[in-house]
Amino acid sequence: MKNKIIKPIFFLGMLGVVLATSCTKKVDDAYLNPNSPVIVPIETILPGVIGGFTAFFSSNGTGYGVQADGILLGRYIQYWGTQSNGELYGQMGFPVGTASDNTGGLWAAVYYGHGGNVNRIIEWGAEQQKWDYVGVGNAIRAWGWLELTNCYGDAILKEAFNTSLTQFKYDTQEEFYDSCRVVCHRAISYLNRTDGAVSQANLAIGDAFFYNGDVTKWKKFVYGILARSFINLSGKNNFISKGYADSAIKYANLSLATNADNASVKVTGGLTSAVTNYFGPFRGNIGAIRQSAYIADLMSGNNTQAFNGIPDPRRYYMLRENLNGTFKGFTPWLGASGVGASDYPRNFWGTTLPTSTAVPSPDSSRYLYQNTSPWPMMTASEIQFIIAEAAYIKGDKPLALTAYANGISLNFDMITTTYPQNVPTVFAITPANKTAYLTAVVPGVATSLTLSQIMLQKYIALYGWGVQQTWTDMRKYHYTDIDPASGNQVYANFIPPSGLNLISTNNGNLVYRCRPRYNSEYLYNIPELTRLGALNTDYNTYKTWFAIP
């Protein structure tokens, strides 16, 4: 595995003592005290923080961000699997008593890769009146709080950056949601400022690989975080009565409206890991990964309960055909078992040898799996599905239908404009086959729309990049909840593992959270882990707050 090396910026405490002598001052001028606080340009801090969204690497550790975790978590939601049979499906993170940071990448990104660096952007940005940087720092912090608690449940909030402590108390998921929203509104207030040293050109220096200094788009991203924070509660009994549905729609309407607003982390590409995509062939991280049977059937028209007989034109962009020219996939806990040689799916780089993890020459990677692929963090398509789900649940079926159709259309357009590379011309999406697909999957009347259709189209639109959000969606519907309108599961024909295919320490239950990162919490925070039950072998099955009605 080739790892990107970015050295993050760390800041030592104020240990220096100012001595009132001219001699000492001259010495200090000549020999800087390494323990004194050093203010560096925040323009140089933000690029590494942006990188921390996806795959942050440093000399002190690797794999921080959503991408490394996504390789594992994607198996819970059956986006993909590996060639191996008998994986520990149900506990992709480390079993108790073993030293592993599996599924700890997001934890490390929020507390370490972002952590003090975001604090300095906010602190020094305020001192320098760079209110746009302060707003961006708060936006990133809000994103981190929401994603962190969705993944791990209870975590460290109030004491997170108290450097006088060696052990930290955990806070509840509900507190994280409240804090996320407060920080979102704080971010908006700063992003609205135009005084002081606010400058699009200067913000673009640190923001070159996300929004290029466009505060309007940053505000839309923040509103999207707010919309997520409310739609994630759609499985709760008070979703309508507490106004969560209305809030999800309100903030979604303020969020990403077109694909030009999409939030994505970009790379330049080149001959070093530091400038290439974590999922690309140069980095060599996903050669053994193959699409799942579930997504292959869903997009091929072979799911008997959803879009049956309707092949999706996007499959040639997002998935990989086999030697037969058809789309098959793995059952994650079975690996390649039961898949014939000619049906064996190619890997995402396009290798034709069934069990090979190599990259073909020339490189034929598509979609998210090219060396230079931008990695979406939020899209306008996702925002439309948020509106569709919230409107559907509150009973506004016409609004739900409009947003549902818009969500599919926007995803088609993103796929064709951002990821057209290496798709054979004969399989290219055209206005005609896009229209034909929309006609087939969008009901003619609003009353015929189902929750299952909304969530499955969102499942497709977030395929690959939206692992964490899709896992949140599936958990709030408890993987197999029934859609009353159709009588089928919300995630139609989705079959989670059971019996021998589910690790025994789960005690027959499915996964609802990851364990806190081993290489910090399980080394020193034992009292809090004990209080939470995180030392229990089935802690990963404890339901997260948003999944409890």
List the single range of 93-97, 171-175, 470-474, 478-482 with lowest mean pLDDT: 93-97
Reply yes or no on whether the pLDDT at 24 is more than 60: no
Which pLDDT belongs to residue 354? 77
Residue 152: pLDDT over 90: yes
- The domain spans of the chain are 22-77+104-213+512-547
- Reported as a pLDDT band with limits 50, 70 and 90, residue 433 is very high
| 448/20: higher pLDDT | 448
3-state secondary structure 263-275: EEECCCCCCCHHH
DSSP string, 42-104: HHHHHHHHHHTTT-EEETTEEEESHHHHHHHHHHHTTSEEES-SS--TT--SPPTTS---TT-
In whole angstroms, give the CA distance from residue 510 to residue 498. Answer: 9
Please classify residue 98 by burial: count the beta carbons closer than 10 Å to its beta carbon, then call 0-12 exposed, 13-18 middle and 19+ buried.
exposed
Residue 390: HSE in the Cβ half-sphere, 13 Å Cα cutoff: 29
What pLDDT shows up at residue 427? 97
- Position 31 scores a pLDDT of 57
**pLDDT, tens digit, for every residue of 304-343?**
999 999 999 999 999 999 999 999 999 988 888 878 888 9
At residue 196, the pLDDT reads: 98
60: pLDDT confidence band, cut at 50, 70 and 90? Answer: low
Question: Phi then psi for 290, rounded to 5 degrees?
Answer: -130, 150
pLDDT band (50, 70, 90) for residue 32: low
From the number of C-beta atoms within 10 Å of its C-beta (0-12, 13-18, 19+), residue 384 rates as buried
By residue count, the chain amounts to 549
- The rounded distance, in Å, linking the Cα atoms of 51 and 69 is 15
CA–CA dist 514, 91 (Å, integer): 8
549: exposed, middle or buried (C-beta count within 10 Å: 0-12, 13-18, 19+)? exposed
- What number is the average pLDDT over the span 427-453? 98
> Top-level CATH class of 22-77+104-213+512-547?
mainly alpha
Over range 299-306, report the average pLDDT.
Answer: 98
- Kindly tell me if the per-residue pLDDT of 87 is higher than 60: yes
Sign of CA dihedral 340, 301, 411, 50: negative
Res. 435: pLDDT tops 80: yes
Q: β-pairing, 61-64 with 80-82?
A: unpaired
Q: Quote the Cα angle for 442-444-447, to 5°.
A: 95
What pLDDT digit, counting tens, does each position of 62-75 carry?
678 999 999 999 99
Token output for 399: 């609004």
Higher pLDDT, 287 or 98: 287
CA within 13 Å, CB half, 451: 23
Kindly tell me if the per-residue pLDDT of 147 is higher than 80.
Answer: yes
Residues 6+ apart with CB under 8 A from 103: 69, 72, 73, 92, 93, 151, 514, 515
High-pLDDT (> 70) share of the chain, %: 90
Residue bearing the bigger pLDDT, 530 or 90: 530
Rounded Cα gap, residues 342 and 434, in angstroms: 29
pLDDT of residue 144: 98
Residue 436: per-residue pLDDT: 98
Give the pLDDT mean for 75-89. 82
Per-residue pLDDT band at 90 (split at 50, 70, 90): low
Band of the pLDDT at 491, cuts 50, 70, 90?
very high
- Helix %, strand %, coil % of the chain (to 5): 45, 5, 50
- Residue, of 48 and 33, whose pLDDT is higher: 48
